[in-house]
Amino acid sequence: MEKRISDPGFWTDPEKAQKVMQERKRLEQAVSVDRDLESRVSDLEALFELAREGEPVEEDLQREMRSLAERSEHLETTTLLGGENDARNAIVTLHSGAGGVESQDWVQMLMRMYLRWAEREGFATTITDVQQGEEAGIKSATFEVSGENAFGLLQSETGVHRLVRISPFDSNARRHTSFASVFVYPEIEDDIKVEINPDDLRVDTFCSSGPGGQGVNTTYSAVRITHQPTGIVVQCQNERSQHKNRDFAMKILRSRLYELELEKKREETKKLEASKMGIQFGSQIRSYVLAPYRLVKDHRTKFEMGDVERVLDGDLESFIKTYLVMRKTGQPVSAGKDDLPE
């Protein structure tokens, strides 16, 4: 591949050249992973040899074995991805359900959870739109997660998320149930053609909202685009430039229209794929219970985790992996971080 790229005529066809460069990057990552695993195993073998000679390396062995186990589990998860758009960036939208300030606070908690997850995975994030609640929390938010397989990993999060807790906003300390919806779309690049008729769009501009003070944008830089045939509404107010906000809003619109077409195809073939797990928008997929007991349970895979703080702090790998295994096999599979052998 390097030989092809060094050819003087390589860039005569830019579109083909870009695909080759992307393939080279993918291969480089695969080779890098292989070398990393080789290095880790070699280090472990050296530690075992030192242990046989009586050196006090047990703590180092435990640490290295745990690190390798976590790395291997992460790689296992990525092998479950193979969909057409799995490797793409993801666009995530969150919406509060009924319940006012309770649900809005739950949206803010979910947004923090996903941003922390992205940080743990080494993904870049860009918040494009946030609608603040009147008292606290967030009514809705849209953000982009950029990185290899971001959509493939996050697609498991589409659905309704339920929170049960003692409300910090209730003076009587009663238990409340809150709901929030999560939708994940693949970011569609210009190489995938999604026909959008300009006559079908209504474009509105408005002042960007904010928490107040000097952070409020007083110019009409925020953009809202309504696709009238489908009723899809997207908006962006992250940038101070109206032009940049419009470009990003159009990118989100293309992604949502593309996902809409995919959903239509899924509906057409649902009977033929009845044995497979389909993505059901609006279905309750996971419960996060903080009172009277503490548990996070995925209702699709039946996977549970009692360490709620760990999940809300972004540790979603086990939930994502069990969903991907179930999607591939059609059967719920219990999975988690196994204990190390004695």
Predicted pLDDT of residue 294 = 95
**What does each C-alpha distance from 329 to 80, 269, 317, 332 come to in angstroms?**
10, 18, 18, 8
Kindly report the CA angle at 40 between 37 and 43, in degrees rounded to 5? Answer: 150
**End-to-end Cα spacing for the chain:** 45
Predicted pLDDT of residue 136 = 87
| CA separation for the pair 90, 131 (Å, rounded) | 20
| CA separation for the pair 194, 190 (Å, rounded) | 8
Predicted pLDDT of residue 49 = 94
Regarding beta strands 159-166 and 284-289, do their DSSP bridges make them parallel or antiparallel, or are they unpaired?
A: parallel
Predicted pLDDT of residue 36 = 93
**Is the CB of residue 298 less than 8 Å from the CB of residue 284?**
no
301 by Cβ neighbours in 10 Å (0-12 / 13-18 / 19+) ranks as buried
Contacts of 187 (CB under 8 A, 6+ apart): 88, 89, 90, 91, 144, 146, 151, 251, 255
Structure-block tokens of residue 251: 């990118």
Taking alpha carbons only, the member of 181, 194, 191, 330 closest to residue 259 is 194
Q: What is the SS3 assignment for 197?
A: coil
Predicted pLDDT of residue 103 = 92
328 by Cβ neighbours in 10 Å (0-12 / 13-18 / 19+) ranks as middle
Kindly report the CA angle at 138 between 317 and 130, in degrees rounded to 5? Answer: 90
Regions in the chain scoring below 50 on pLDDT: 212-215, 269, 271-282, 335-342
User: CATH number for the 90-266+277-329 domain, one of 2.60.120.10, 3.20.20.140, 3.40.640.10, 3.30.70.1660?
Assistant: 3.30.70.1660
pTM above threshold 0.85: no
Length of the chain, please? Answer: 342
Taking alpha carbons only, the member of 311, 307, 336 closest to residue 322 is 336
Predicted pLDDT of residue 330 = 75
* Per-domain boundaries in the chain: 2-79, 90-266+277-329
160-217 tens-digit pLDDT: 999 999 988 877 878 888 999 999 988 876 555 677 888 999 998 888 765 544 445 5
